[in-house]
């Protein structure tokens, strides 16, 4: 097979590695799914590439990775040292004076850098940027040598108020680099020149913690690709949904924390846009969690920070993805108060649901779906298992749900699905209704292996317009790698009052920041149609501590952005009104932080390449019927081969659409229709 | 005039769905206020709470998961205060909203403003929504309200009984004018009031939507079911504890006016599936602001129980099997005008005493005392441009050792989930410089599971004319206790620099109006948590690690753990064995 000019998206997940090859010349695509090799992901990565063709023939590879995420969650980063201002070595460990849970006072916290690897030096910058005590580079070098002797592999330099003036920090990090044996040295101003010491220290330390891990992983992949004679470009998806060069990823690995999920959201946005849906909520149902993200007017929402685990904060723009502990492996149980609960405890993918027969005997959401006949027990997704054990699943539901509740086993299985649906619906409401979005204007787009089982029910539960099931739900993240734009973000805290704004100074800063970001994107080595520079301000009324994001309607044009105080004021008031009901006239406004993003727009990806073939027919897609339990009884339900359905096909529920990587359930009262791109649109029957 | 409490049975699945949706309404109300509030005590420290309450009794039906824990217990009393007013004065209409801060009538202290709104369905009262938030300043002798020397509530600020802020949809601007005239920061209070109204508006809209979806009868029945379920869980939990009377007491340093310790004494009785909390042996009402009202005492017992029995849901049902004995002859049951501004310190001690008594009833799940003081510190003065500033904050300390882990270093108090403002934000806002923001060695109580460490905060004043410093703290004389053989943590300590060297307050952790010159520093050293289990049982290697990391000094390792460890954390195995063998014998 010819793959010249091919661009490959590779999504390495916990269980499977998904690949998507698009041959730009021939407008053809190929997909592959291979087992992930936990611990040495490069093996699965290469296996998958070889399955797609001759690796040296590919022009570009874009990778969504969970190596960084896993290193953070499993605490398997490098041994790191911290060099900081006298009096502040405990910032990382003291956090923001919180505790793990509202109720209950147990639990402790282990920072990523132990206390004896956090060294202090004399230096001090004040909040206004003035230097009260200069730093002595020799003292910094001595501290670095001590850290080396104690076995540190990477170093984070973090000084108080470095956001206001980075001179001391800059001198210090240069001193460390002069004596440090590798490149794994980072200063807080290079990562996040933004006010709030804990958030900056945490993000910087986690970057250092990941640098050796992500660096060695990417190095290994690069070597493997070199070994195959690959000469094309190799890029990584960032948490913000944009793509960066591997050189940038090695420098800023903390930006890969949500790499894989972000790629999925990017693909979802593109698929929705092509299908004519401006407003969608994505729902990725995995083994242990349900991840939702909102796309309004074709754009995904970026969050300023995320908490990976208690006390582990990363502050860098990332696609806002909310996670709840409800997945296929979530365990159903009746609590001491007699209430049915699903999750957050999960059987994961190993041992997995009862029906996998791998040793778990407590019922999961997947078991309920199997018992109700919604999942085909004879043809499990992924192809690892021969068949699923329906009877074992049923016995588990009878013992752990039906008996304690005093209801019949099928009713119990249906209740498990209903509770799970309610929890997923709650997650969708949190990102939509709570933010002031009307659910009737949104469609849910399920992806991953399990989401499409529940999409129809969510339409009813939340009052959404419809569900849009992409043609290949299981490879959405890999597809996202292929179509994601390039992106680079920068921040700078300014703390300027709007009333006394020097607009020329703001303009100069915006131009400088825009140029810097633009240069990173331009230097990534990938063809783009154009580079857009986007600006946002974090602002508030004087006296508030929270800020709101204020997108500015200006961009970089030559020597100026054309910004003025009036433009800022109008933009702030518009954004404030969207968030809260009333403006507060007479109270002064303040600009806290400038956020700059450069986005390299890739040539549009034509999704018609994925559409069903013209000779597909309804008859060829028919797979007979089987009994499926809906709303308190068995229904003789039509089964369809989803990928064989022609464009325009309409299927009335109850129905089940099957394909190798997903199962779509069309509940009674709903209809499904295949659109021109092969997506399935599920709506209430007219 | 209340809705018929439905006999409708709700199926368990619908019940679970409704539980999630109702909690989400309360959470959304919290989120709305946090994001739009003006003062950092609400916006950052989350000193606020929202919920849904019973039409006739005011009992808590549904509570958010993000609100301030102490308010979760106190809100039912606030709603009851409004119910009593309406019963007395009549005139309740759809579209009304009540406002008050009376600490003796369902409040906590004067800074906490409650808004209570009836929700009618078809002309009949269905339930109440309520919002509470801590406003920055409401008059009184001391900016921010924490007047350590108050002897009457009139010195603490303005007291507002339940009044109709909104009558049939129309806001009474006269009340806002009165509030504005009585605060040092009217703009901040106005911003917070608007935030609370935003939250109630949103809650009402969401709740009406839910009632339309499910029907009033089904939701009313669900309320009953939640309450019954919480009561059942609490009874089962109590029944599993051994019957008996468990006595525990602890002391407050003083009341800020006279230097006499105050005793909080609890006799906790477990009898079958019931529990009695009897505080009769506690000290009488005090002259200074360390008193609390009965409603506050009940609310903080609720907080303590929720921390121990984390599975029991947050509604009135869980209090049904509990009898409270809180005589008005004690400092825990005072009425107007006894000062209550320092209530935070007293409720922390009450919570600790409940932990202590329960530790004896269930040693396997005992938790040692958390640091137990709020340390309300104000540094006030004038900036270079002449403008006035007040830096006001609460500080952190260590949590207690427990069966699972060492105590958490630098945590927040059990009554709140407040985070501390960043030092960089404080330095950017006020003419101060932190010279230390650090963990405090040896502050955690020794134990098999060591108490978490408290902190050292050292602040230098940068303003030309210096600054005035106020502190309302505790634990200066009576340290956080250990359990199961664990030892107490370090005491709270506060000093300031003068020409004659460092000084500390005569009343341990309470001062008003100490003048600090430019370039001088104040230093607050907070307690850790108490230890859990006998210190000698802590593996010597773990003690050596504590020394290597600087959590414990070599001297303390030897004196309190019988472990011989050098400065760099090297353990002398033989010497430690000999020392420990000697202690055991």
Using a CB–CB cutoff of 8 Å, tell me whether B417 touches chain A. yes
Q: Is B39 in Cβ contact with A337 (below 8 Å)? A: no
pLDDT tens-digit series, residues A317-328: 889 888 888 888
Select the residue of B43, B405, B419 nearest A98 (Cβ to Cβ): B419
Q: Is residue A418 part of a domain?
A: no
Using a CB–CB cutoff of 8 Å, tell me whether A577 touches chain B. no
Interface test with B, best of A106, A330, A580 (most B CBs within 10 A): A106
Domain C-terminal end among B232, B251, B277 = B232
pLDDT at B73 over 80: no
Instruction: Give contacts of B422 with chain A, Cβ < 8 Å.
Output: 96, 195-199
Whole-number mean pLDDT of chain B? 91
Q: Is B549 in Cβ contact with A97 (below 8 Å)? A: no
Confidence (pTM): 0.88
Q: Is residue A369 part of a domain?
A: no
Select the residue of B36, B428, B437 nearest A580 (Cβ to Cβ): B36
Q: Given pLDDT bands bounded at 50, 70 and 90, which one contains residue B32?
A: confident
Coil, strand, or helix at residue B323?
A: strand
Instruction: Give contacts of A101 with chain B, Cβ < 8 Å.
Output: 310
Give the pLDDT confidence score for residue B182 in this predicted structure.
93
Q: Are A104 and B455 in contact (CB under 8 A)?
A: no
CA Rg value for chain B = 25
Q: Is residue B226 part of a domain?
A: yes
Whole-number mean pLDDT of chain A? 90
Q: Let me know whether B577 and B453 are in one domain.
A: no
- Nearest-by-CA chain B residue for A406: B12
Q: Is B12 in Cβ contact with A405 (below 8 Å)? A: yes
Interface of B with A in 229-288 (CB under 8 A): 229-230, 232-233, 236
Q: Is residue B273 part of a domain?
A: no
Q: Is residue B42 part of a domain?
A: yes
Q: Let me know whether B83 and B204 are in one domain.
A: yes
Instruction: Give contacts of B409 with chain A, Cβ < 8 Å.
Output: 93-94, 108-109
Give the pLDDT confidence score for residue A383 in this predicted structure.
58
Q: Is A163 in Cβ contact with B437 (below 8 Å)? A: no
Give the pLDDT confidence score for residue B5 in this predicted structure.
39
Using a CB–CB cutoff of 8 Å, tell me whether A632 touches chain B. no
The sign of the CA dihedral B470, B474, B479, B483 is: negative
CA distances from A479 to A271, A277, A630 (A): 10, 18, 33
**Which residue carries 């970057």 as its tokens?**
A207
H/E stretch holding B41 reads helix B40-43
Q: Is residue B17 part of a domain?
A: yes
Q: Are A600 and A528 in contact (CB under 8 A)?
A: yes
Q: Let me know whether A26 and A61 are in one domain.
A: yes
Q: Let me know whether B584 and B449 are in one domain.
A: no
Q: Let me know whether B412 and B508 are in one domain.
A: yes
Interface of A with B in 145-164 (CB under 8 A): 160-161, 163-164
The DSSP call for residue B140 is S
Select the residue of B233, B421, B427 nearest A337 (Cβ to Cβ): B233
- Nearest-by-CA chain B residue for A162: B424
**Smallest Cα distance from B318 to chain A, Å:** 12
| CATH code where residue A48 lies | 3.30.420.40
Select the residue of B28, B230, B424 nearest A196 (Cβ to Cβ): B424
Number of Cβ within 10 Å of residue A395's Cβ equals 17
How many domains does chain B divide into? 3
Q: For residues B245 and A427, what is the distance between their CA atoms, to the nearest angstrom?
A: 46
Interface test with A, best of B66, B137, B438 (most A CBs within 10 A): B438
Interface of A with B in 447-506 (CB under 8 A): 495
Q: Let me know whether A162 and A242 are in one domain.
A: no
Residue A512 dihedral angles phi and psi, to the nearest 5°: -65, -45
Q: Let me know whether A96 and A157 are in one domain.
A: yes
Q: Is A98 in Cβ contact with B411 (below 8 Å)? A: yes
- Nearest-by-CA chain B residue for A194: B424
Q: Given pLDDT bands bounded at 50, 70 and 90, which one contains residue B585?
A: low
Q: For residues A396 and A392, what is the distance between their CA atoms, to the nearest angstrom?
A: 6
Q: Which tokens in the block code for residue B567?
A: 């400065």
Q: Is the peptide bond before A654 cis (omega within 30 degrees of 0)?
A: yes
Instruction: Give contacts of A195 with chain B, Cβ < 8 Å.
Output: 422, 424-425, 428
Q: Given pLDDT bands bounded at 50, 70 and 90, which one contains residue B494?
A: very high
Of A464, A481, A491, give the one whose Cα is nearest residue A280.
A464
CA distances from A541 to A143, B199, B247 (A): 42, 19, 51
**Smallest Cα distance from A64 to chain B, Å:** 33
Give the pLDDT confidence score for residue B429 in this predicted structure.
84
Q: Is A429 in Cβ contact with B427 (below 8 Å)? A: no
Q: Let me know whether A517 and A578 are in one domain.
A: yes
The domain containing residue B214 runs over which residues? Answer: 12-232
| CATH code where residue A542 lies | 3.30.1490
Please state whether beta strands A154-158 and A80-85 pair in parallel, antiparallel, or not at all (unpaired).
parallel
Q: Let me know whether A530 and A545 are in one domain.
A: yes
Of A36, A510, A12, A4, give the one whose Cα is nearest residue A263.
A12
Q: Is residue A56 part of a domain?
A: yes
Q: Given pLDDT bands bounded at 50, 70 and 90, which one contains residue B1?
A: very low
Residue A335, exposed/middle/buried by CB under 10 A (0-12, 13-18, 19+)? middle
The sign of the CA dihedral A204, A206, A208, A214 is: negative
Give the pLDDT confidence score for residue B105 in this predicted structure.
85
Q: Which tokens in the block code for residue A281?
A: 């909520």
Q: Are A482 and A62 in contact (CB under 8 A)?
A: yes
pLDDT tens-digit series, residues B225-239: 999 989 999 999 999
How many domains does chain A divide into? 4
Q: Is residue A573 part of a domain?
A: yes
Using a CB–CB cutoff of 8 Å, tell me whether A419 touches chain B. yes
Select the residue of A107, A198, A581 nearest B422 (Cβ to Cβ): A198
Q: Is residue A505 part of a domain?
A: yes
ipTM of the complex: 0.92
Q: Let me know whether A66 and A171 are in one domain.
A: no
Instruction: Give contacts of A132 with chain B, Cβ < 8 Å.
Output: 433
Using a CB–CB cutoff of 8 Å, tell me whether B461 touches chain A. no
Tell me the percentage of chain B whose pLDDT exceeds 90.
Answer: 71
Q: Let me know whether A613 and A650 are in one domain.
A: yes
Backbone torsion region of residue A75, taken as left when φ is above 0, otherwise alpha when ψ lies between -120 and 50, otherwise beta = left
Q: Let me know whether B56 and B147 are in one domain.
A: yes
Angle between helices A409-431 and A390-397 (to 10 degrees): 80
Of A455, A10, A458, A416, give the one whose Cα is nearest residue A230.
A10
Q: For residues A503 and A513, what is the distance between their CA atoms, to the nearest angstrom?
A: 15
Q: Let me know whether B566 and B420 are in one domain.
A: no
Q: Is A336 in Cβ contact with B236 (below 8 Å)? A: yes
Interface of B with A in 550-569 (CB under 8 A): 550-551, 569
Q: Which tokens in the block code for residue B380?
A: 């006030």
Domain C-terminal end among A601, A628, A645 = A601
The domain containing residue A645 runs over which residues? Answer: 609-684
Instruction: Give contacts of B438 with chain A, Cβ < 8 Å.
Output: 87-90, 94
Q: Is residue A47 part of a domain?
A: yes
Q: For residues B390 and B430, what is the distance between their CA atoms, to the nearest angstrom?
A: 8
The DSSP call for residue B535 is G
Residue B242, exposed/middle/buried by CB under 10 A (0-12, 13-18, 19+)? exposed
Q: Is residue B318 part of a domain?
A: no
Number of Cβ within 10 Å of residue A453's Cβ equals 25
Q: Let me know whether B156 and B49 are in one domain.
A: yes
Helices (H), A19-150: 41-52, 67-73, 91-94, 137-149
Q: Is B425 in Cβ contact with A338 (below 8 Å)? A: no
Give the pLDDT confidence score for residue A382 in this predicted structure.
60
Number of Cβ within 10 Å of residue A551's Cβ equals 13
Domain C-terminal end among B232, B263, B293 = B232
Q: For residues B260 and A600, what is the distance between their CA atoms, to the nearest angstrom?
A: 71
Instruction: Give contacts of B33 with chain A, Cβ < 8 Å.
Output: none
Compute the average pLDDT of residues B209-236.
92
Q: Let me know whether B114 and B221 are in one domain.
A: yes
Q: Given pLDDT bands bounded at 50, 70 and 90, which one contains residue B4?
A: very low
Q: How many degrees, rounded to 5, is the angle at CA B568 between CA B565 and CA B569?
A: 40
Give the pLDDT confidence score for residue B2 in this predicted structure.
37
Select the residue of B16, B306, B410 nearest A97 (Cβ to Cβ): B410
CA distances from A430 to A425, A426, A462, A685, B37 (A): 9, 6, 11, 27, 20
Q: Which tokens in the block code for residue A352?
A: 């997995």
Number of Cβ within 10 Å of residue A358's Cβ equals 13
pLDDT at B283 over 70: yes
Q: Let me know whether A85 and A177 are in one domain.
A: yes
- Nearest-by-CA chain A residue for B136: A543
pLDDT tens-digit series, residues B86-136: 999 999 999 999 999 999 988 888 999 999 999 999 999 999 999 999 998
Q: Are B482 and B364 in contact (CB under 8 A)?
A: no
Using a CB–CB cutoff of 8 Å, tell me whether B306 touches chain A. yes
Give the pLDDT confidence score for residue B327 in this predicted structure.
97
Q: How many degrees, rounded to 5, is the angle at CA B71 between CA B262 and CA B494?
A: 45
Give the pLDDT confidence score for residue A582 in this predicted structure.
65
Interface of A with B in 579-618 (CB under 8 A): 579-582, 584, 587
Of B72, B64, B207, give the one whose Cα is nearest residue B128.
B207
Q: Is B188 in Cβ contact with A115 (below 8 Å)? A: no
Interface test with A, best of B10, B36, B394 (most A CBs within 10 A): B36
Please state whether beta strands A622-630 and A80-85 pair in parallel, antiparallel, or not at all (unpaired).
unpaired
Of A288, A444, A649, A383, give the one whose Cα is nearest residue A657.
A649
Q: Let me know whether B35 and B140 are in one domain.
A: yes
Q: Is residue B397 part of a domain?
A: yes
Q: Is A338 in Cβ contact with B12 (below 8 Å)? A: yes
Q: Let me know whether A90 and A150 are in one domain.
A: yes
Q: What number of residues does chain A have?
A: 686
Domain C-terminal end among B232, B247, B282 = B232
Q: Is residue A112 part of a domain?
A: yes
Low-confidence ranges of chain A (pLDDT < 50): 1-4
Interface test with A, best of B10, B11, B13 (most A CBs within 10 A): B13
Q: Let me know whether B391 and B371 are in one domain.
A: yes
Using a CB–CB cutoff of 8 Å, tell me whether A108 touches chain B. yes
Q: Let me know whether A92 and A151 are in one domain.
A: yes
Give the pLDDT confidence score for residue B554 in this predicted structure.
97
Q: Let me know whether B432 and B560 are in one domain.
A: no
Coil, strand, or helix at residue B576?
A: helix
Of B39, B352, B60, B87, give the one whose Cα is nearest residue B227.
B60
Residues 6+ positions from A604 with CB-CB distance below 8 Å: none
Q: Are B508 and B492 in contact (CB under 8 A)?
A: yes
Q: Is B407 in Cβ contact with A160 (below 8 Å)? A: no
Using a CB–CB cutoff of 8 Å, tell me whether A109 touches chain B. yes
Q: Let me know whether B209 and B61 are in one domain.
A: yes
pLDDT at B7 over 60: no
Q: Is residue A270 part of a domain?
A: no
Domain C-terminal end among A601, A636, A652 = A601
Using a CB–CB cutoff of 8 Å, tell me whether A302 touches chain B. no
A-B interface: how many C-beta pairs under 8 angstroms?
A: 200
Q: Let me know whether A94 and A46 are in one domain.
A: no
């Amino acid at each position: 097979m010819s793959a010249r000019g091919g661009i490959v998206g590779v999504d390495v997940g916990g269980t499977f590695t998904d690949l998507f090859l698009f041959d730009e010349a021939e407008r053809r695509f190929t997909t592959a799914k291979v087992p992930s090799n936990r611990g040495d992901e490069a093996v699965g990565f290469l296996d998958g590439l070889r399955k797609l063709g001759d690796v040296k023939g590919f022009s570009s590879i874009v990778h969504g990775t969970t190596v960084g995420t896993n290193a953070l969650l499993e605490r398997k980063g490098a041994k790191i040292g911290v060099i900081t201002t006298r009096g502040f070595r405990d910032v990382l460990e003291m956090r923001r004076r919180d505790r793990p849970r509202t109720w209950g006072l147990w639990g402790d916290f282990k920072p990523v850098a132990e206390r004896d690897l956090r060294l202090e030096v004399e230096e001090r910058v004040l909040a206004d940027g003035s230097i009260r005590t200069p730093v002595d580079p020799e003292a910094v070098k001595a501290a670095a040598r001590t850290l080396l002797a104690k076995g540190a592999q990477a170093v984070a330099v973090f000084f108080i108020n470095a956001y206001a003036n980075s001179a001391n920090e800059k001198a210090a990090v240069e001193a460390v680099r002069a004596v440090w044996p590798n490149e794994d040295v980072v200063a807080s101003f290079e990562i996040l020149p933004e006010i709030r010491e804990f958030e900056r220290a945490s993000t910087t330390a986690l970057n250092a913690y990941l640098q050796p891990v992500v660096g060695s992983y990417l190095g290994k992949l690069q070597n493997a690709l070199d070994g195959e004679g690959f000469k094309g470009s190799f890029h990584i998806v960032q948490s913000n949904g944009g793509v960066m060069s591997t050189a940038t990823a090695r420098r800023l690995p903390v930006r890969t924390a949500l790499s894989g999920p972000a790629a999925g959201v990017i693909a979802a946005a593109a698929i929705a846009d092509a299908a004519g849906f401006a407003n969608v909520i994505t729902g990725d149902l995995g083994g242990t969690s349900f991840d939702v993200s909102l796309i309004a007017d074709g754009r995904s929402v970026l969050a300023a920070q995320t908490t990976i685990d208690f006390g582990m904060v990363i502050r860098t723009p990332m696609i806002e993805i909310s996670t709840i502990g409800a997945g296929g492996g979530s365990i159903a149980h009746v609590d001491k108060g007699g209430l049915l609960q699903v999750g957050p405890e999960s059987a994961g993918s190993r041992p997995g649901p009862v029906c996998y027969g791998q040793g778990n005997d407590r019922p999961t959401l997947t078991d309920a779906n199997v018992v109700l006949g919604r999942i085909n027990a004879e043809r499990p997704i992924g192809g690892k298992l021969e068949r699923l054990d329906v009877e074992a699943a049923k016995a588990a539901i009878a013992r752990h749900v039906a008996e304690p509740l005093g209801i019949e086993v099928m009713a119990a299985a249906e209740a498990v699905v209903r509770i799970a649906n309610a929890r997923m619906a709650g997650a969708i409401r949190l990102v939509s209704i709570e933010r002031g979005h009307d659910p009737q204007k949104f469609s849910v787009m399920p992806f991953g292996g399990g989401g499409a089982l529940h999409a129809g029910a969510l339409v009813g539960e939340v009052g959404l317009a419809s569900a849009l099931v992409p043609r290949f739900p299981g490879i959405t993240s890999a597809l996202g790698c292929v179509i994601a734009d390039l992106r680079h973000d920068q921040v700078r805290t300014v703390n300027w009052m709007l009333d006394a704004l020097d607009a020329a100074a703001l303009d100069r800063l915006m131009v400088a920041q825009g140029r810097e970001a633009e240069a990173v994107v331009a230097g990534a080595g990938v063809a783009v149609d154009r580079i857009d520079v986007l600006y946002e301000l974090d602002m508030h009324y004087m006296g508030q501590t929270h800020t709101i994001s204020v997108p500015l309607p200006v961009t970089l044009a030559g020597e100026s952005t054309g910004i003025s105080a009036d433009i800022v004021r109008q933009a702030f008031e518009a954004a404030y009104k969207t968030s809260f009901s009333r403006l507060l006239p007479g109270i002064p406004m303040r600009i806290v932080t400038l956020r700059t993003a450069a986005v390299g727009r890739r040539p549009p990806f034509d999704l018609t390449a994925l559409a069903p073939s013209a000779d597909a027919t309804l008859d060829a897609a028919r797979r007979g019927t089987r009994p499926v339990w809906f709303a308190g009884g068995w229904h003789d339900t039509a089964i369809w081969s989803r990928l064989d359905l022609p464009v325009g096909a309409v299927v009335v529920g109850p129905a089940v659409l099957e394909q190798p990587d997903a199962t779509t359930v069309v509940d009674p009262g709903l209809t499904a229709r295949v659109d021109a791109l092969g997506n399935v649109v599920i709506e209430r029957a007219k | 005039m209340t809705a018929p409490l439905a006999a409708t049975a709700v199926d368990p699945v619908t019940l679970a769905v409704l539980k999630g949706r109702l909690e989400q309404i309360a959470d959304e109300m919290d989120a709305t206020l946090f994001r739009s509030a003006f003062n950092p005590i609400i916006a950052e420290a989350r000193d606020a709470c929202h919920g849904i309450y019973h039409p006739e009794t005011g009992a808590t039906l549904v509570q958010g998961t993000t609100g301030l824990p102490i308010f979760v217990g106190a809100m039912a009393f606030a709603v009851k205060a409004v119910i009593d007013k309406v019963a007395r004065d009549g005139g309740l209409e759809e579209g009304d909203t009540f406002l008050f801060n009376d600490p003796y009538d369902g409040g906590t202290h004067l800074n906490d403003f409650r808004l209570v709104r009836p929700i009618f369905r078809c002309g009949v009262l269905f339930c109440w929504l309520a919002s509470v938030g801590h406003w920055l300043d409401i008059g009184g002798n001391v900016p921010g309200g924490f007047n350590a020397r108050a002897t009457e509530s009139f010195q603490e600020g303005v007291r507002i009984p339940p009044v109709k802020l909104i009558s049939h949809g129309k806001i009474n601007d006269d009340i806002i004018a009165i509030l504005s005239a009585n605060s040092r920061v009217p703009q901040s209070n106005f911003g917070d009031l608007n935030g609370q109204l935003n939250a109630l508006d949103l809650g009402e809209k969401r709740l009406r939507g839910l009632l339309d979806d499910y029907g009033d009868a089904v939701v009313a029945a669900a309320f009953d079911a939640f309450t019954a379920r919480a009561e059942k869980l609490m009874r089962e939990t109590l029944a599993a504890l051994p019957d008996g009377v468990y006595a525990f007491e602890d002391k407050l340093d003083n009341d800020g006016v006279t230097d006499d310790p105050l005793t909080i004494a609890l006799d906790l009785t477990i009898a079958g599936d019931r529990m009695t909390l009897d505080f009769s042996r506690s000290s009488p009402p005090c002259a200074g602001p360390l008193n609390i009202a009965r409603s506050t005492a009940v609310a903080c017992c609720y907080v303590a129980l929720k921390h121990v029995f984390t599975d029991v849901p947050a509604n009135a049902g869980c209090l049904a099997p509990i009898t409270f004995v809180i005589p008005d002859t004690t400092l825990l049951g005072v009425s107007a005008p006894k000062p209550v501004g320092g209530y935070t310190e007293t409720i922390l001690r009450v919570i600790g005493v409940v932990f202590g008594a329960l530790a004896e009833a269930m040693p396997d799940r005992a938790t040692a005392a958390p640091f137990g003081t709020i340390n309300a510190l104000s540094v006030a003065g004038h900036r270079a441009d002449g403008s006035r500033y007040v830096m006001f904050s609460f500080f952190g300390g260590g949590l207690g050792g427990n069966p699972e882990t060492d105590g958490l270093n630098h945590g927040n108090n059990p009554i709140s989930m407040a985070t501390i403002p960043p030092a960089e934000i404080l330095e950017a806002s006020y003419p101060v410089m932190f010279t230390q923001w650090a963990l405090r060695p040896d502050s955690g109580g020794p134990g098999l599971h060591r108490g978490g460490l408290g902190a050292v905060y050292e602040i230098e004043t940068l303003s030309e004319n210096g600054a005035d410093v106020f502190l309302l703290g505790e634990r200066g004389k009576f340290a956080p206790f250990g359990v199961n053989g664990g030892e107490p943590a370090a005491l709270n300590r506060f000093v300031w620099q003068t020409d004659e060297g460092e000084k500390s307050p005569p009343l341990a952790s309470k001062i008003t109006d100490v003048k600090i010159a430019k370039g001088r520093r104040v230093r607050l050293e907070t307690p850790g948590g108490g230890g859990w289990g006998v210190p000698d049982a802590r593996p010597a290697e773990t003690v050596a690690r504590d020394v290597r990391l600087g959590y414990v000094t070599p001297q303390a390792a030897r004196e309190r753990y019988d472990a011989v460890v050098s400065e760099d954390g090297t353990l002398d195995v033989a010497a430690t064995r000999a020392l420990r063998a000697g202690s055991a014998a």
